[in-house]
Every structure is written in structure tokens, then in C-alpha cells.
């Protein structure tokens, strides 16, 4: 798979048969009210995917939520551009009063976070 595929659960959305495709994002409505959005990433979290992913995550943040959970369990690779997206998303989220939590980082992502010390900058949550 080229790039990162982003799918998530967005509160207050309606869709035909339970899902709708919107700009490479699978939108599945959750039962309102929801103060938590879970976004599942898959593929490469790298320089090829970073620009589009950044825009999609900014869009999700501006829809509003108390907690944004990034499920990283299916991310196959991560480079500095991918880390920059995570850090930038976290900074923007703080400005908007949103908490970012990472869920189940894949072994490769966990290794990159540990080796850069970023594992101490993010909060992690259980499934």
C-alpha cells in the first residue's frame, strides 16, 4: 500500500449503509454524544503520505472532540515526516483543547518513538 490510509469514527455524522467514503477517509458514525474520535491509520507514515495525512487530521480536529485517538497498530513504516505530523497534530490539538492519545503503535512505530524519546511526549491508551 502506498501512503497512509486513514479511517475513523466521527461523531454526529450520518451515512447511508453505515459508512461513507470521504477524501480517502472511511467515516463511520458513532452514537452521539461522543467526546472521543478514533482514527485508524494504516500503511506508511512517511514523507509521501505526510501532507495529505496532516490535512486530514487537521480536518478531524476542527470538527471538534475532547479526545483524538490515533490507532497506529497497522502502520508499517514511520520516518521523520511522519513523526512531524504526529507532533504537529499534538500541538494543534492542545491549542484546540483536545487531548491526543496513541493506541497500539505497531512495533516499528514503537521503536521509532522510543529511539527519539517521543514516547515520553505522547499519552497512550488501551483499546
CATH assignment of the domain containing 90: 3.30.750.24
Note down the domain range covering 70. Answer: 4-125
Return the pLDDT at 26: 32
Phi and psi dihedrals of 30, rounded to 5?
-105, 165
**For the chain, how many structural domains are there in total?**
1
Q: Decide the pairing of beta strands 36-45 and 25-30.
A: unpaired
Return the pLDDT at 24: 34
Whether residue 73 contacts residue 103, with contact meaning beta carbons closer than 8 Å, is answered with: yes
Return the pLDDT at 126: 82
Pairwise CA distance, residues 66 & 38, whole Å: 11
Indicate the pTM of the whole model: 0.77
Tell me which residues of the chain have a pLDDT lower than 70: 1-34
Residue 58 neighbours by CB under 8 Å, 6+ apart: 89, 92
Return the pLDDT at 17: 35
Return the pLDDT at 6: 58
Amino acid at each position: 500500500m502506498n501512503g497512509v490510509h486513514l479511517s475513523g469514527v466521527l461523531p454526529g455524522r450520518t451515512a447511508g449503509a453505515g459508512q461513507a467514503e470521504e477524501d480517502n477517509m472511511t467515516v463511520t458514525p458513532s452514537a452521539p454524544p461522543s467526546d472521543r474520535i478514533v482514527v485508524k491509520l494504516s500503511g506508511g507514515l512517511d514523507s509521501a503520505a505526510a501532507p495529505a495525512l496532516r490535512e486530514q487530521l487537521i480536518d478531524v480536529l476542527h470538527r471538534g472532540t475532547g479526545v483524538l485517538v490515533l490507532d497506529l497498530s497497522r502502520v508499517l513504516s514511520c520516518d521523520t515526516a511522519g513523526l512531524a505530523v504526529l507532533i504537529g497534530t499534538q500541538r494543534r490539538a492542545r491549542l484546540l483543547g483536545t487531548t491526543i492519545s496513541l493506541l497500539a503503535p505497531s512495533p516499528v512505530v514503537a521503536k521509532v518513538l522510543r529511539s527519539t524519546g517521543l514516547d515520553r511526549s505522547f499519552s497512550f491508551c488501551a483499546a
